[in-house]
């Protein structure tokens, strides 16, 4: 009986191909990772999302800003000219009054009695003066006939002249007493707004007291006074000679509509202490938005500059070399551009040099930018905005190239 067996291939025959397969797989894996890394290194960095705006040409005002204070056009402290008991107060505190309105009534009876007494003396002295005049005429005839002496006639004439002077004195006393009676009724010297009441009915008032009975401010129209550096004085005078200068005033930290007035006063000297010149503007103040003693932001418009290059103020950045903006180029990369800003008005900056109308500037997102960085435009809410014409041109060329290759 013969034994039969099947010969098995050596172990190395199986191990060698498997090892080659593992090595090949590892090589393939390493090659794929290196390729991905190389591809990642060669890919351009992602675009930085930014908000953009355009430089435009428009007419802009030439303005001076300052902090002003509202002042009444006129202020009158009402005081009594005669003393006595206050019988009546004819208004309420804080009430508007017109010129000539009755404000206070002081007891007029003592002054009326004095007026009556002065009138009685005047009437008595008139009678005596008339008799003296008659005596002069009668004695003039008697002295010519030598019935009386010349000395007697002279005495009669002196008495008549003395009574005439007494009549003038009596007349003045009557007028003074009449004025005292008139002073008992105190009327508003100006139209305006009354303040706090310092005396009430029943109080005794003194003439020319240190404390006024009430203070009246005229607020229609009203002044706003403010000061500007004296270096602006020649420019202000030059523009004021050409016409009225508009002034706007608005209380700080409020959303009310600015009040409009005109410059009506330039002080006759410069304040040597501060180096400023005091100005005043008159406002009609029909809506009473301006109130005496209030501080307001004032803008004086000197002229209007046509064809000014204007960009959003938030696009302007400050660097070591001065002010600059990031300008978006046609390939959607940015460049840093030095500019000279003439002035800033609200949310707009007037560029004197460095930008041309139509150029696109970055208004938000500058912190992540550097020259040559690609950007992606977006609107204020963060969604992509419609690309500008400068950005559409490169995109159109890329689409045309892809279509020709396909």
Asked, for residue 30, whether it belongs to a domain, the answer is no
pLDDT band per the 50, 70, 90 thresholds, residue 5: very low
| 143 lies in the same domain as 174 | yes
User: pLDDT tens, 138-169?
Assistant: 988 888 888 888 999 899 999 999 999 999 99
Are 48 and 376 contacting, i.e. CB atoms less than 8 angstroms apart? yes
CATH number at residue 160: 1.10.287
| 397 lies in the same domain as 332 | yes
Judged against a pLDDT cut of 60, whether residue 47 lies above it is answered with: yes
Give pLDDT, residue 222.
97
What is the enclosing helix (H) or strand (E) of 48?
strand 48-54
Asked, for residue 350, whether it belongs to a domain, the answer is yes
| 87 lies in the same domain as 205 | yes
| 294 lies in the same domain as 228 | yes
Domain region containing 189: 80-106+185-211
Query: What percentage of the chain exceeds 90 in pLDDT?
Result: 74
Q: Which residues pair with 296 in a beta bridge?
A: 68
Asked, for residue 351, whether it belongs to a domain, the answer is yes
Q: Which residues pair with 343 in a beta bridge?
A: 350
Q: Looking up tokens 């908000």, which residue turns up?
A: 51
Crossing angle between the packed helical segments 109-144 and 150-183, to the nearest 10 degrees: 160
Distance CA 170, CA 240 (A): 58
pLDDT band per the 50, 70, 90 thresholds, residue 68: very high
Mean pLDDT of the chain: 86
Are 325 and 52 contacting, i.e. CB atoms less than 8 angstroms apart? no
Give pLDDT, residue 112.
97
Distance CA 169, CA 272 (A): 54
Distance CA 331, CA 386 (A): 16
pLDDT band per the 50, 70, 90 thresholds, residue 172: very high
> Which of 305, 330, 358 corresponds to the end of one domain?
305
Judged against a pLDDT cut of 90, whether residue 244 lies above it is answered with: yes
Q: In terms of residues, how long is the chain?
A: 406
Are 348 and 60 contacting, i.e. CB atoms less than 8 angstroms apart? yes
Which residue would you say has higher pLDDT here, 134 or 29?
134
Give pLDDT, residue 36.
55
CATH number at residue 389: 2.40.420.20
Judged against a pLDDT cut of 90, whether residue 37 lies above it is answered with: no
Are 304 and 242 contacting, i.e. CB atoms less than 8 angstroms apart? no
Distance CA 13, CA 7 (A): 13
What is the enclosing helix (H) or strand (E) of 278?
strand 276-283
> Which of 282, 305, 328 corresponds to the end of one domain?
305
Tokens of residue 339, six digits: 């500019």
Are 262 and 244 contacting, i.e. CB atoms less than 8 angstroms apart? yes
| 168 lies in the same domain as 100 | no
Judged against a pLDDT cut of 80, whether residue 396 lies above it is answered with: no
Give pLDDT, residue 284.
96
| 244 lies in the same domain as 177 | no
User: pLDDT tens, 348-358?
Assistant: 999 999 999 99
Which residue would you say has higher pLDDT here, 314 or 399?
314
Measuring CA to CA, which residue among 54, 32, 26 is closest to residue 327?
54
Asked, for residue 2, whether it belongs to a domain, the answer is no
Number of domains in the chain: 4
Q: Is 215 exposed, middle or buried (0-12, 13-18, 19+ CB in 10 A)?
A: middle
| 204 lies in the same domain as 297 | no
Which residues fall within 8 angstroms of residue 366, CB to CB, at 6 or more apart?
50, 317, 326
| 136 lies in the same domain as 154 | yes
| 301 lies in the same domain as 270 | yes
């Amino acid at each position: 009986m013969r034994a039969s067996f099947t010969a098995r291939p050596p172990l190395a025959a199986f191990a060698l191909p498997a090892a080659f397969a593992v090595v090949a797989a590892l090589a393939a894996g390493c090659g794929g990772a290196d390729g991905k890394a190389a591809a990642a290194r060669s890919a351009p960095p992602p675009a930085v999302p930014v908000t953009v705006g355009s430089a435009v040409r428009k007419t802009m005002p030439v303005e001076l800003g300052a902090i002003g204070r509202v002042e009444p056009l006129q202020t009158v402290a009402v005081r009594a000219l005669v003393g006595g008991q206050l019988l009546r107060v004819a208004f309420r505190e804080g009430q508007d009054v017109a010129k000539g309105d009755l404000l206070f009534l002081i007891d007029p009876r003592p002054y009326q009695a004095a007026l009556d007494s002065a009138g009685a003396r005047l009437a008595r002295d008139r009678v005596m003066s008339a008799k003296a005049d008659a005596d002069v005429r009668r004695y003039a005839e008697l002295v010519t006939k030598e019935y009386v002496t010349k000395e007697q006639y002279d005495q009669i004439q002196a008495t008549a002249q003395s009574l005439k002077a007494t009549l003038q004195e009596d007349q003045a006393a009557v007028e003074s007493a009449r004025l005292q009676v008139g002073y008992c009724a105190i009327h508003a010297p100006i139209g305006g707004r009354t303040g706090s009441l310092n005396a009430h009915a029943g109080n005794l008032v003194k003439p020319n007291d240190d404390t006024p009975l009430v203070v009246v401010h005229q607020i229609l129209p009203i002044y706003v006074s403010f000061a500007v550096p004296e270096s602006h004085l020649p420019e202000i005078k030059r523009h004021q000679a050409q016409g009225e200068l508009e002034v706007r005033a608005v209380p700080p930290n409020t959303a009310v509509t600015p009040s409009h007035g005109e410059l009506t006063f330039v002080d006759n000297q410069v304040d040597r202490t501060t180096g400023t010149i005091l100005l005043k503007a008159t406002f009609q103040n029909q809506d009473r938005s301006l109130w005496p003693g209030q501080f307001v932001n004032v803008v004086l418009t000197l002229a209007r500059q046509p064809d000014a290059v204007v960009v959003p103020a938030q696009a302007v950045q400050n660097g070591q070399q001065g002010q600059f903006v990031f300008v978006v180029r046609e390939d959607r990369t940015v460049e840093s551009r030095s500019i000279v800003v003439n002035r800033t008005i609200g949310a707009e900056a007037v560029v004197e040099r460095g930008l041309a109308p139509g150029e696109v500037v970055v208004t938000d997102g500058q912190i992540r930018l550097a020259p040559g960085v690609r950007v992606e435009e977006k609107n204020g809410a963060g969604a992509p905005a419609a690309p500008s014409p400068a950005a559409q041109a490169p995109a159109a060329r890329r689409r045309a190239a892809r279509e020709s290759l396909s």
